[in-house]
Amino acid sequence: MNYTKIRQLNKLYFNYRDISRAFRISLGSSRVAATRLVKSGDLTRIKRNFYVLSQKWNSSSLEERFILANLIQVPSYISLMTALSYYEATTQVQRDFIESVVYYRTKLVEVMDSSFNYSKINRKLYFGFVKLKGFFIATAEKAFLDAFYLKSLRKYNFDITSVDFNKLNMKLIVSMAGKYPLLTRKLLLKYGYLKKA
């Protein structure tokens, strides 16, 4: 099997149909080909019918991994410390650990040397993200609030001391905080990010 045909696809990720077209084989044969290419180490399986060239995976940028994170779980957006780190709003840098938010199921996906962690939040709180460079990511303020929300539920270990508040718009945080549960607002009040009415 000519591996160069796959490399010529020049895509970040691809599926059985792409393999079928590259090798001019049936979809059934492309599934077998994908399995063989994974075993040979030429392909990395991200999830069912979702592959990346291993060479491409090893040299992928952080932004490309964010795109993959969005695609592993749809819908989702990058958030929490990963987003804060991306905006340089924290001194904590998480290598090979990408955090996202979803509204249906908490999940951890391991791919080669990286972990993709998906934390569930209330569907009503699924807002406050933007699309940058092909991926969805929380604003810095929303990532901060998502972390506080999960911390208030005792589902997230949030190192607040690592946050650079000069990189955050506190007025936006106060404005969005009203949409979060009382438990989260009480915790924000306790740490001094909200004022008593």
Residue 34 and residue 124 share a domain: no
> Are 116 and 71 within 8 A, CB to CB?
no
My answer on whether 135 and 153 are in the same domain is: yes
Residue 29 lies in a domain: yes
Report the distance separating Cα 188 and Cα 165, nearest Å: 14
- pLDDT attached to residue 109: 96
- Could you tell me if residue 196 is inside a domain? no
| pLDDT of 117 | 98
CATH at 54: 1.10.10
Domain that holds residue 130: 61-190
- Judge if 179 and 115 occupy the same domain: yes
Distance CA 60, CA 167 (A): 27
Residue 66 and residue 48 share a domain: no
Looking at the fold, whether 102 and 179 belong to one and the same domain comes out as: yes
pLDDT, residue 29, reads 93
Q: Are residues 77 and 117 in the same domain?
A: yes
Residue that the structure tokens 């695609």 belong to:
71
> What is the model's pTM?
0.92
Task: Report residues of the chain scoring pLDDT below 50.
Answer: 197
In a domain, 195, yes or no: no
Q: Evaluate whether residue 177 is within a structural domain.
A: yes
Same domain, 68 and 143: yes
Please indicate, yes or no, whether residues 66 and 80 belong to a single structural domain of this protein. yes
Q: What is the pLDDT of residues 2-58, one digit of tens each?
A: 667 777 777 899 999 998 988 889 999 999 999 998 999 889 999 999 999 998 899
Q: Is residue 86 part of a domain?
A: yes
Residue of 112, 44, 98 lying closest to 67 (CA atoms):
98
The answer for residues whose C-beta is within 8 angstroms of residue 91's C-beta and 6 or more apart is: 162, 164
Domain boundary among 27, 42, 58: 58
Q: List all residues 6 or more positions away from 88 whose beta carbon is below 8 Å from its beta carbon.
A: 164, 167
Residues 79 and 35 in one domain: no
Q: What is the pLDDT of residue 1?
A: 56
| Longest CA span, the chain | 69
Q: Which two tokens stand for residue 44?
A: 């990395």
Three-state DSSP class for 122? coil
197 in any annotated domain = no
